[in-house]
Chains A and B, each alone.
Chain A
Amino acid sequence: MESNLNSELLFETLSEVLEDAAFIFTEVADESLQFNSDILKSSIHYNGQEDGILSLAVDKITAKTVAANLLGIEPSDEDAEEKSVEAVSEILNIVCGVFLERWLGGQNHCRLGIPSTVSLTAAEEMAALNSSRCNAILEDEEGNRIDIFVSGN
Protein backbone atom coordinates (compact mmCIF):
# COMPACT_ATOMS: atom_id res chain seq x y z
CA MET A 1 0.00 0.00 0.00
CA GLU A 2 1.40 3.39 -0.96
CA SER A 3 1.69 6.17 1.63
CA ASN A 4 2.67 9.79 1.60
CA LEU A 5 6.19 10.71 2.55
CA ASN A 6 5.89 12.03 6.08
CA SER A 7 7.54 11.90 9.50
CA GLU A 8 5.18 9.25 10.75
CA LEU A 9 6.17 6.88 7.96
CA LEU A 10 9.85 7.41 8.74
CA PHE A 11 9.27 6.98 12.47
CA GLU A 12 7.19 3.83 12.13
CA THR A 13 9.57 2.20 9.68
CA LEU A 14 12.72 2.88 11.69
CA SER A 15 11.05 2.04 14.97
CA GLU A 16 9.84 -1.35 13.72
CA VAL A 17 13.15 -2.30 12.12
CA LEU A 18 15.12 -1.33 15.23
CA GLU A 19 12.75 -3.38 17.35
CA ASP A 20 12.75 -6.46 15.06
CA ALA A 21 16.41 -6.52 14.08
CA ALA A 22 18.21 -4.95 17.03
CA PHE A 23 15.77 -5.18 19.98
CA ILE A 24 15.87 -1.40 20.44
CA PHE A 25 12.60 0.22 21.44
CA THR A 26 11.97 3.83 20.51
CA GLU A 27 9.46 6.64 20.71
CA VAL A 28 9.08 10.03 19.08
CA ALA A 29 11.50 12.55 20.59
CA ASP A 30 11.47 16.29 20.93
CA GLU A 31 13.93 18.07 18.65
CA SER A 32 15.54 19.68 21.68
CA LEU A 33 16.95 16.29 22.70
CA GLN A 34 20.73 16.31 22.26
CA PHE A 35 23.01 13.55 21.07
CA ASN A 36 24.99 12.07 23.98
CA SER A 37 28.27 11.49 22.15
CA ASP A 38 29.89 11.79 18.73
CA ILE A 39 27.53 11.10 15.85
CA LEU A 40 27.66 8.51 13.09
CA LYS A 41 25.58 9.29 10.01
CA SER A 42 24.93 6.59 7.47
CA SER A 43 23.40 7.43 4.07
CA ILE A 44 22.06 5.30 1.25
CA HIS A 45 21.09 6.40 -2.23
CA TYR A 46 17.96 5.02 -3.87
CA ASN A 47 16.91 5.62 -7.42
CA GLY A 48 14.17 4.55 -9.78
CA GLN A 49 10.70 6.00 -9.68
CA GLU A 50 12.03 8.22 -6.88
CA ASP A 51 15.60 9.44 -6.47
CA GLY A 52 16.98 10.49 -3.11
CA ILE A 53 19.06 9.72 -0.08
CA LEU A 54 17.89 8.21 3.21
CA SER A 55 20.10 8.98 6.20
CA LEU A 56 20.27 7.65 9.73
CA ALA A 57 22.18 9.45 12.48
CA VAL A 58 22.91 7.90 15.88
CA ASP A 59 25.44 8.55 18.57
CA LYS A 60 28.30 6.12 19.02
CA ILE A 61 26.72 4.62 22.14
CA THR A 62 23.62 3.61 20.18
CA ALA A 63 25.75 2.36 17.29
CA LYS A 64 27.55 0.04 19.68
CA THR A 65 24.24 -1.24 21.07
CA VAL A 66 22.95 -1.89 17.55
CA ALA A 67 26.09 -3.88 16.70
CA ALA A 68 25.94 -5.84 19.96
CA ASN A 69 22.27 -6.71 19.52
CA LEU A 70 22.67 -7.73 15.89
CA LEU A 71 25.54 -10.02 16.83
CA GLY A 72 24.06 -11.27 20.10
CA ILE A 73 26.99 -10.02 22.20
CA GLU A 74 27.40 -7.50 25.04
CA PRO A 75 27.82 -3.80 24.15
CA SER A 76 31.02 -3.86 26.23
CA ASP A 77 32.49 -6.51 23.88
CA GLU A 78 35.31 -5.22 21.68
CA ASP A 79 33.53 -6.54 18.61
CA ALA A 80 30.56 -4.27 19.27
CA GLU A 81 32.71 -1.17 19.02
CA GLU A 82 34.60 -2.52 16.02
CA LYS A 83 31.42 -3.35 14.10
CA SER A 84 29.38 -0.29 15.12
CA VAL A 85 29.85 1.65 11.85
CA GLU A 86 28.94 -1.37 9.82
CA ALA A 87 25.93 -2.09 12.04
CA VAL A 88 24.49 1.38 11.47
CA SER A 89 24.98 0.98 7.71
CA GLU A 90 23.23 -2.37 7.76
CA ILE A 91 20.27 -1.13 9.78
CA LEU A 92 19.87 1.77 7.35
CA ASN A 93 20.02 -0.64 4.41
CA ILE A 94 17.19 -2.68 5.93
CA VAL A 95 15.18 0.43 6.84
CA CYS A 96 15.52 1.76 3.29
CA GLY A 97 14.05 -1.39 1.73
CA VAL A 98 11.05 -1.37 4.09
CA PHE A 99 10.62 2.40 3.76
CA LEU A 100 10.50 2.35 -0.06
CA GLU A 101 8.00 -0.50 -0.04
CA ARG A 102 5.72 1.37 2.34
CA TRP A 103 6.13 4.71 0.62
CA LEU A 104 5.99 3.66 -3.03
CA GLY A 105 4.15 0.35 -2.80
CA GLY A 106 5.13 -3.29 -3.10
CA GLN A 107 5.80 -3.00 -6.82
CA ASN A 108 8.28 -0.14 -6.62
CA HIS A 109 11.15 0.01 -9.08
CA CYS A 110 13.79 1.59 -6.87
CA ARG A 111 17.28 0.20 -6.53
CA LEU A 112 19.43 0.71 -3.48
CA GLY A 113 23.04 1.82 -3.39
CA ILE A 114 25.65 0.78 -0.86
CA PRO A 115 25.44 2.69 2.45
CA SER A 116 28.31 4.93 3.50
CA THR A 117 28.89 6.14 7.05
CA VAL A 118 30.73 9.22 8.35
CA SER A 119 31.37 10.88 11.73
CA LEU A 120 29.68 14.24 12.27
CA THR A 121 29.49 16.98 14.85
CA ALA A 122 26.10 17.87 16.31
CA ALA A 123 26.13 21.14 14.32
CA GLU A 124 26.79 19.30 11.06
CA GLU A 125 24.00 16.85 11.80
CA MET A 126 21.56 19.68 12.60
CA ALA A 127 22.42 21.38 9.29
CA ALA A 128 21.80 18.15 7.38
CA LEU A 129 18.55 17.53 9.23
CA ASN A 130 17.33 21.09 8.63
CA SER A 131 17.92 20.84 4.89
CA SER A 132 16.11 17.50 4.60
CA ARG A 133 12.90 16.90 2.70
CA CYS A 134 11.32 14.98 5.55
CA ASN A 135 12.62 13.80 8.92
CA ALA A 136 11.78 12.10 12.19
CA ILE A 137 13.53 12.29 15.55
CA LEU A 138 13.36 9.29 17.86
CA GLU A 139 14.78 8.35 21.24
CA ASP A 140 15.53 4.92 22.60
CA GLU A 141 14.79 3.66 26.09
CA GLU A 142 18.10 5.08 27.35
CA GLY A 143 17.20 8.54 26.05
CA ASN A 144 19.64 8.41 23.12
CA ARG A 145 18.62 10.48 20.12
CA ILE A 146 18.21 8.87 16.67
CA ASP A 147 17.54 10.92 13.51
CA ILE A 148 16.24 9.65 10.19
CA PHE A 149 15.72 11.86 7.18
CA VAL A 150 15.19 11.95 3.44
CA SER A 151 17.07 14.38 1.25
CA GLY A 152 17.27 14.90 -2.49
CA ASN A 153 14.37 15.22 -4.92
Chain B
Amino acid sequence: MAYNFLVVDDSPIIRSVVAKCLTMSGLEIGDIFEASNGRAALDVLDDNWVDMVFADLNMPEMDGREMIQEMVDNQMIDNIPVVVISSERNEDVLKWLSSVGVSGFINKPFKPEKMKSVVDKLLGNQE
Protein backbone atom coordinates (compact mmCIF):
# COMPACT_ATOMS: atom_id res chain seq x y z
CA MET B 1 0.00 0.00 0.00
CA ALA B 2 1.44 3.37 -1.01
CA TYR B 3 1.22 6.23 1.47
CA ASN B 4 0.65 9.90 0.74
CA PHE B 5 2.50 12.45 2.86
CA LEU B 6 2.22 16.19 3.33
CA VAL B 7 5.33 18.13 4.34
CA VAL B 8 4.66 21.58 5.80
CA ASP B 9 7.63 23.87 6.28
CA ASP B 10 8.40 27.42 5.15
CA SER B 11 11.88 26.28 4.14
CA PRO B 12 11.94 24.58 0.71
CA ILE B 13 15.30 23.11 1.69
CA ILE B 14 13.79 21.30 4.68
CA ARG B 15 10.83 20.16 2.59
CA SER B 16 13.33 18.67 0.13
CA VAL B 17 15.30 16.98 2.90
CA VAL B 18 12.14 15.48 4.46
CA ALA B 19 10.92 14.29 1.06
CA LYS B 20 14.32 12.75 0.37
CA CYS B 21 14.32 10.99 3.76
CA LEU B 22 10.87 9.57 3.04
CA THR B 23 11.97 8.39 -0.40
CA MET B 24 15.04 6.72 1.12
CA SER B 25 13.02 5.09 3.91
CA GLY B 26 12.02 2.07 1.88
CA LEU B 27 8.32 2.82 2.37
CA GLU B 28 6.00 2.61 -0.57
CA ILE B 29 5.37 6.25 -1.35
CA GLY B 30 2.41 7.59 -3.30
CA ASP B 31 2.48 11.38 -3.39
CA ILE B 32 4.53 13.74 -1.28
CA PHE B 33 2.63 17.03 -1.15
CA GLU B 34 4.34 20.19 0.06
CA ALA B 35 3.05 23.37 1.70
CA SER B 36 4.94 26.42 2.95
CA ASN B 37 2.57 27.30 5.81
CA GLY B 38 -0.41 26.01 7.75
CA ARG B 39 -3.01 27.68 5.55
CA ALA B 40 -1.58 26.15 2.37
CA ALA B 41 -1.41 22.78 4.15
CA LEU B 42 -5.11 22.90 5.06
CA ASP B 43 -5.89 23.62 1.40
CA VAL B 44 -3.92 20.53 0.38
CA LEU B 45 -5.80 18.45 2.97
CA ASP B 46 -9.11 19.73 1.58
CA ASP B 47 -8.31 18.44 -1.88
CA ASN B 48 -6.21 15.30 -1.34
CA TRP B 49 -6.01 12.07 0.61
CA VAL B 50 -3.05 12.31 3.01
CA ASP B 51 -1.93 9.52 5.35
CA MET B 52 0.46 11.57 7.47
CA VAL B 53 1.52 15.19 7.93
CA PHE B 54 5.01 16.38 8.83
CA ALA B 55 4.90 19.96 10.07
CA ASP B 56 7.21 22.66 11.31
CA LEU B 57 5.98 24.94 14.10
CA ASN B 58 7.37 28.34 13.20
CA MET B 59 6.04 29.48 9.85
CA PRO B 60 4.67 32.77 8.51
CA GLU B 61 0.98 33.37 7.74
CA MET B 62 -0.32 30.35 9.69
CA ASP B 63 2.08 28.55 12.00
CA GLY B 64 2.11 24.88 12.93
CA ARG B 65 0.21 25.39 16.18
CA GLU B 66 -2.73 27.09 14.45
CA MET B 67 -2.74 24.49 11.69
CA ILE B 68 -2.80 21.61 14.19
CA GLN B 69 -5.62 23.29 16.14
CA GLU B 70 -7.66 23.67 12.94
CA MET B 71 -7.05 20.01 12.12
CA VAL B 72 -8.13 18.95 15.62
CA ASP B 73 -11.32 21.01 15.25
CA ASN B 74 -12.22 19.55 11.85
CA GLN B 75 -13.75 16.06 11.97
CA MET B 76 -12.83 15.45 8.33
CA ILE B 77 -9.11 15.56 9.07
CA ASP B 78 -8.72 15.19 12.84
CA ASN B 79 -7.58 11.57 12.55
CA ILE B 80 -4.60 12.23 10.25
CA PRO B 81 -1.40 11.66 12.23
CA VAL B 82 0.72 14.81 12.57
CA VAL B 83 4.43 14.62 13.30
CA VAL B 84 6.06 17.89 14.27
CA ILE B 85 9.61 18.46 13.03
CA SER B 86 11.07 21.44 14.80
CA SER B 87 14.16 23.03 16.29
CA GLU B 88 12.07 24.33 19.16
CA ARG B 89 12.37 22.34 22.36
CA ASN B 90 10.10 24.55 24.46
CA GLU B 91 8.54 22.49 27.26
CA ASP B 92 5.23 24.39 27.08
CA VAL B 93 4.94 23.68 23.36
CA LEU B 94 5.72 20.01 23.82
CA LYS B 95 3.03 19.74 26.51
CA TRP B 96 0.50 21.47 24.26
CA LEU B 97 1.38 19.25 21.30
CA SER B 98 0.86 16.21 23.48
CA SER B 99 -2.46 17.58 24.82
CA VAL B 100 -3.89 18.03 21.32
CA GLY B 101 -2.84 14.54 20.32
CA VAL B 102 0.12 15.22 18.05
CA SER B 103 1.44 11.80 17.09
CA GLY B 104 5.16 12.44 17.14
CA PHE B 105 7.91 14.98 17.54
CA ILE B 106 11.25 14.96 15.73
CA ASN B 107 13.98 17.38 16.70
CA LYS B 108 16.14 18.96 14.04
CA PRO B 109 18.71 17.87 13.02
CA PHE B 110 17.29 14.45 12.25
CA LYS B 111 18.47 11.38 10.41
CA PRO B 112 16.44 9.39 7.85
CA GLU B 113 16.39 6.39 10.23
CA LYS B 114 14.57 8.46 12.85
CA MET B 115 11.92 9.50 10.37
CA LYS B 116 11.44 5.93 9.17
CA SER B 117 11.01 4.62 12.71
CA VAL B 118 8.36 7.26 13.46
CA VAL B 119 6.50 6.54 10.23
CA ASP B 120 6.71 2.77 10.77
CA LYS B 121 5.38 3.12 14.28
CA LEU B 122 2.46 5.34 13.32
CA LEU B 123 1.47 3.53 10.15
CA GLY B 124 1.85 0.10 11.68
CA ASN B 125 4.80 -1.06 9.62
CA GLN B 126 6.91 -2.26 12.56
CA GLU B 127 8.86 -5.35 11.64
Contact = CB atoms under 8 A, between A and B. Distances in A.
The answer to whether A binds B is yes
A20 B108 CA distance: 10
Given A20-B109, A114-B60, A83 B12 contact: yes
B101 to A, nearest CB: 21
A interface majority secondary structure: helix
Interface residues of B, number: 22
Interface residues of A, number: 29
A86 B36 CA distance: 13
A107 interface: yes
Interface string B79-104: 00000001111111100000000000
Interface string A15-42: 0010011000000000000000000000
A25 to B, nearest CB: 15
Interface in A52-97: 67, 70-72, 83, 86-87, 89-90, 93-94, 96-97
Given A83-B13, A93-B87, A112 B58 contact: yes
A152 interface: no
B91 to A, nearest CB: 4
Nearest to A110: B90
B42 to A, nearest CB: 20
Interface of A: 17, 20-21, 48, 67, 70-72, 83, 86-87, 89-90, 93-94, 96-98, 100-101, 106-114
